[in-house]
Structure 1
Amino acid sequence: MCDKTMTFSVNQERENELKRNLTIVYDALVQKGYNPINQIVGYILSEDPTYITTYNNARSLIRHIDRDELLQVLVRNYLED
């Protein structure tokens, strides 16, 4: 059994891409009248793409976002503020 801690890292360029894509998804949800935070959290927890509108290609964009990378970026930014 291995008891070493795994490390995970997202580089700055990838983080910027995640932010751009998540912003597009957020804006699409707002434009369609959804609560974007609730919808995005629902997607992150379930990985069910139906939480995200197809408007402005948002569903396709969010499916290209790795949830582990996204969570790492969100937690780091939350704790750094």
Structure 2
Amino acid sequence: MTLNIDQLKKKIIYRSNYRGTKEMDKLLGAFTKKYIDELNNEDLADLEKLLDIDDANLYNFFNGLVTDFKFKDNKINLLYKNFKYSE
């Protein structure tokens, strides 16, 4: 099944807002909301891959801590790492 771009964006938005931990729901939800409409297909695919990573590793990567996961150098990971979250 092939998703069109709008369906993919909706799927990503949902996944970013319903992670399992309230902290990551807020952080990834805010990150996705800020950038989703600026991303091309490749970026959206990378964002989907980012959302496949567990919350602990995403939290540690965001905060500059040690992770069990090797994060690739790409636009999405750089944007996420440098994202300034504020409620």
Normalising by structure 2, what TM-score? 0.32
Question: Normalized per residue, which structure has more helix?
Answer: 1
Larger Rg: 1
Normalising by structure 1, what TM-score? 0.33
